[in-house]
Amino acid sequence: MGFMLESVGRYPEKKKSVIFQSDLFNKIGYNCLKINRKIRYNLILFALFLIIFPTVVSAFLISDQGTNVREVATGNLTASANLSISIYDSSIGGNLIFEQTLINAIINGSWNVMINPNLSYGVIYWKDYSINAEDLDFDGIERLELQSSVGKINNISFINFSLINSCPEGSSIRLIYENGSVLCVLTNTSFNQTFTDLFYAGIQWAYNMTTPFTNWLTTFNYDYNQTTPAIAYTDAALVANNNSFRSTYNETYNASIIWAYNQ
């Protein structure tokens, strides 16, 4: 009996231990599942951000304004109306680049809205307007010309690299157009070439000159590269003056000594 009681007394403890471990693993698994769900949720948001962000940053806001919108029947300012703005790449037909309808954008005959078309900088576009789905013309002109002041500048995709070497020799690229063609201008090399020729010619002459020197710099170069001994060059005037000085000095000096010795 003692064995049985001891055994009965031990089994509940093992069962409790097993239940406790099972609950612990369940809690850990549940928390891991919650963490995994959060990670997946964040990854999904991040992926959506990467998809949407290029579209958002590729557009630039443009202010669009208009005034004096009146009712044809009464001539009164339009109290409220919807405005549709369309942008094309041509004055007639062409491709639709942007279109947006703004509800109740016109108030008391005017509008002042912000639109975000994806345009390229410096490119010519054409805008078309509709008010309450009715086409709007400007003195018979269907579309208004618009040169984009926003957008990517120097978009590398516009450059046709096959045209880079199309400039003739002696000229260089001054401007790259939107379609990839280039504007070539002549390069002014005459001044540089003349200066280079004179500069190096002067150095070469001074360094290798064989004529008598006239100043310190050419004296140094002449002495360094002379083809004849330095003593070969003499100044006749200096030699004459020097000889005259020596003769006068010797005569005076020697005469004094002789007179003093034989007085």
Write down the domain spans for the chain: 1-57, 62-147, 156-186
How many whole angstroms separate alpha carbon 81 and alpha carbon 104? Answer: 5
Handedness of CA 218, 223, 225, 227 (dihedral sign): positive
Higher pLDDT, residue 57 or 242: 242
Is pTM beyond 0.85 here?
Answer: no
Confidence category of residue 186, pLDDT binned at 50, 70, 90: confident
Q: Quick check: 92 and 114 in contact, CB under 8 A?
A: no
Higher pLDDT, residue 85 or 150: 85
Q: Quick check: 148 and 122 in contact, CB under 8 A?
A: yes
| H or E stretch covering 128 | strand 124-131
How many whole angstroms separate alpha carbon 181 and alpha carbon 163? Answer: 6
CATH 3.40.1000 is the classification of domain 62-147: no
Mean pLDDT of 235-260: 62
Residue 184 has a pLDDT of 83
Mean pLDDT of 232-257: 61
Higher pLDDT, residue 181 or 23: 181
Higher pLDDT, residue 38 or 217: 38
Mean pLDDT of 205-212: 53
Render pLDDT for 48-80 as a digit per residue (tens, 0 to 9).
655 554 444 445 788 899 999 999 899 999 999
Whether 202 shows a pLDDT value over 70: the answer reads no
DSSP 73: T
Tokens of 4: 């049985």
Whether 2 shows a pLDDT value over 60: the answer reads no
**Angle in degrees, CA 170, 173, 177, rounded to 5:** 150
CB-CB neighbours of 100 under 10 Å: 15
